[in-house]
Structures are given as structure tokens and as C-alpha cells.
Amino acid sequence: MTYEQPADGLAIERRTIDVIPDGERHGTPRSQFTLWFGANMQITAIVDGALAVVFGADALWAILGLLIGNVVGGAVMALHSAQGPRLGLPQMISSRAQFGVYGAVIPLLLVILMYLGFAATGSVLAGQAVSKILHIDSTTVGILVFGALTAVIAVTGYRLIHTIGRIATVVGILGFTYLAIRLFTEYDVSSFVGVKGFDATTFVLAISLGAGWQLTFGPYVADYSRYLPRETSERATFWSTFAGSVIGSQWAMTLGALIAACAGKAFLGDQVGFVGALAGPAWIAMLIYFVIVMGKLTVNCLNAYGGFMSMLTTVTAFSGQSRISTGVRTAYIVAFTGVSVMVAIAASADFLDNFKNFVLVLLMVFTPWSVVNLVDYYLISRERVDIPALYDPDGRYGRWNWAALGAYTVGVLAQIPFLAQKLYTGPIAETLGGADISWIVGIAVTAAIYYPLARRTSNPPAQMIYPDRVTQPVRP
């Protein structure tokens, strides 16, 4: 049998929320490593790592806490990625199997807000770097230029996004290694590490920041493994994704924690400017700004790409469509990117504090979703999904799955007493000295409620059911 050859990397992607046919599958799990390494080796991860130190932790304990969070969250995130080759679907389409065709819209609306938030906060830092490269004073212009680049790459789609990820991996390794060398050259780093004792509150904050960073990739990580051949090993997909995401993020966050420990307030006012100054000579600083832009471009394209598919998934739940034209696809991406740019321009002040609270709030609402999805897929359905029924509100999965929605709601609400946020600190968090363990509570409560309910109410198929056209070879 012969199969259709994948389109050239610069051709605009045709697929959106529909399942990828076998004849269009391509690639190896190694592509997941480079994509997620490149997406995590970036300036916002440096800021995320710095936050634990900025808010009081010693750099040594912050780095350890970030590592624990990255490993735990990265394992959950990679379990979502492993679903991609078998299902061939965007992540949030597959969640209709748990929440129902209409019910999946509820977490989807939060997912769209997440994408907008990350796209906007990332555009602030990338816009600063673009402005320095162009030698202009206006960060707004830099944000607009960066937004245009994001839209072009996201419209082109999957293959170009992976190409950008490979480039970002190489330049990120070179650039971040150089910055680490410069940091140790300019500062006596050892004198800033291990100077404070262990503090449980800030240690838990560091764990939460690392876990939150990884867990928020969950709603779209399978979008970038769904083109892998169906026979691709789930274990290989898992470990490639896990290694790329955890190593890339931990590397950047460790650098961020050390920079914050050494630089203190000098880093707070202008994160991008400080990194450029650390680089040394002006021409090297320009190269570092390019590294910043490449890393942010990778992850911002993921946000724009995942954002438009989440919007389509929401709309098509009620329209019944499973395929969208290229023109409509382009319009969604441009609209999403435009909104994120406007938010970035309007909300660039108080970046560090706002970003910390944004990540931790997202952790509260996405942890229960992730638990429901993974428990159902691996323990209840046992990797058997009726794919045609995902597009039919009158099919196997129905309009609303109240067991999943109920467990999700209780999982979110149960976290409130354990929250430690700028706007609200729960009573239990106060007794814990301000330590935020809400996401751990969310995992435990959601799993405890959903698993027994799902065992009684779920109706998974006896085997995977694909649309007929998916498994048919495409003749040249």
C-alpha cells in the first residue's frame, strides 16, 4: 500500500479538529523532545524560576522545589502527550469522551483564557526583546511585530511549528549556556546560594510554580503528537515529551533562580534588559535578544495554535462540524493573536506579580480537568475511544457527562480553602503559613470522586473506533 506524502513544511496545514488519517502521519517521538525543549528554554521560564526567590526562597531550596514540581507536572503533561498518536486528535476534542460533547465546552472556555493569558504575558517579554533588536524605544511596536510573526507561523501550522522548535532548541542551548557562564563570571554565585534556611511556604511555592508550569501544557500537548504514526510507542512519546519539557524548563528556571538571587531588584524592573546587559558586548546582547525571541516564538505559536483549536472545538460542539476550511482557520488564528496582542499592550505593568498569580490560578482550574481526562483514558476506557461519537451529541458520549462535570466542579471548589493568592488566601492556607497546596488537594479529591463514579456510569467501546477514512491508505 502507498500513502500520501506529508506536505512540505512551508505549506499551510489542512487539518484542524478532525482526526489525522494514517496516510498523513509522519515523524518520530524525537520531534517531541526538540519541540518541548525549545518551548521551555525561554525567558518566561527564567522569570518563573526567579519568582520563588523573589518571593523569599533561598536559591538552593527554590531550585530543588522547582525540580520536584517540574518532574511531577511533567509526568502528568507527558501522559497527555502519549494519547496523541493513538487518537490522532487535538487534546480538547478527546476530552468530549469524559465531559460530553457540550460539557467539554466548560473547561474549554478556561483553556482559551489560559492561552490568551500566556500569549499576552509572553508577548510582553518578547516585545521588549524585539524592540531592543530593532533599536526602538516602544515596547508596543515590538509586541506588534512579535504578534505578526506568531500569526504567520501558527497559520502555516504543525510542521513549521516543529521546525521552529528545533531551531529554538539549538539557539536556546547556546544562549542559555553562555548566560550561565556570564552569571558565574560576573557574580560570586556561591555567596548568594544557601544563605537562608529552609522555609516550607516558599518551598511549596517553588513546587507549585514548577508543577503549574508543566500542568498548563496539558490541554494542548497532544495537539503536537497527533501526527505521529499510530503505531508509535506510547512509552517513547511519553519519555521524549517528558525529557524535553522537564530538562528545558528546569534549565531555564534554575538560571532564573540564580539570577534573582544574585541581582535582586536589578532583575525585577527590566527582566529582558537585565539579561541583555548580563550578556556583555552589544553585539552579543543582540544575539541573546534573538534567543529570547526564538524561545518565545515557539511557545507563543503553541498558544495561538492551541487557542484557535480550542475555539473551534467550542463552536463545533454546537454546529456539529468536524472539518473547517483554511480561510476560517486563518481567521480564528489572526483573531486570537490580535486579542492577545491587545491584552499584552494593556497589561504589561507589574508583570512578575501578575504572572505568579496567573500561573497559580490556572493550576487550580486545570488540575481537576487533567485528573478526569487521565483517569478516564488510562483506567476507565483503557485507551478505547469511539472517535465518531466525539462529534455527535446524540452519540455514545452524549451532550453532558454529569459525573465528570460534578467531579471537576468539586475538585475546583475543594481547593479554595487551600489557596494562597494575592486576592484571596484560604483559611487552611493561612494555618499553613501561606503555603499553597491547593493543586495537590485538587488531584486527590477529583480522583477520589471521579474514579468510582466513572466505573459505574462510563460506557467505553470494546475497542478503538475510527472513522472509516482514517485507516484507508491514500492512493497517489
- Does the pLDDT value for residue 411 go beyond 80? yes
Residue 357 has pLDDT above 70, yes or no: no
H or E stretch at 172: helix 158-186
Q: What is the pTM of this model?
A: 0.89
Question: Computed from CA positions of residues 85, 15, 474, 163, in that sequence, does the dihedral angle turn out positive or negative?
Answer: negative
Over the stretch 130-155, which tens digit does the pLDDT of each residue have? 988 988 888 889 999 999 999 999 88
pLDDT score for 170: 92
The pLDDT of residue 159 is above 70: yes
- pLDDT for 255-299, tens place per residue? 999 999 998 777 777 788 888 889 888 889 999 999 999 988 988
Supply the mean pLDDT for the chain.
Answer: 86
Q: What is the Cα–Cα distance from 225 to 28, expressed in whole angstroms?
A: 9
For the cut 60, the answer to whether the pLDDT of residue 82 exceeds it is yes
Reported as a single tens digit per residue, the pLDDT across 170-193 is: 999 999 999 999 999 999 998 998
Confidence of residue 379 (pLDDT cuts 50, 70, 90): very high
pLDDT at 350 over 70: no
Q: What is the pLDDT of residue 260?
A: 92
- Give the chain's count of helices (H) and strands (E): 19, 0
Residues 6+ apart with CB under 8 A from 79: 238, 374, 378
Rg, C-alpha atoms of the chain: 22
Taken in order of first residue, the domains within the chain and their CATH numbers are: 22-352 (1.10.4160.10)
Band (pLDDT 50/70/90 cuts) for residue 376 is very high
pLDDT value at 374 more than 60: yes
Which whole number is the average pLDDT over 309-335?
82
pLDDT tens, 432-454?
777 778 888 999 999 999 999 99
Q: Which pLDDT tens digit goes with each residue over 203-261?
A: 988 998 899 899 889 888 998 999 999 999 999 999 999 999 999 999 999 999 999 99
Distances (CA, A) of 178 to 36, 66, 174, 259, 291: 21, 22, 6, 13, 11
What are the φ and ψ backbone dihedral angles of 386, each rounded to 5 degrees? -90, 90
Residue 104 DSSP SS3? coil
Report how far residue 76's alpha carbon sits from residue 310's, in angstroms, rounded to the nearest whole number. Answer: 20
In contact, 366 and 114? CB cutoff 8 Å: yes
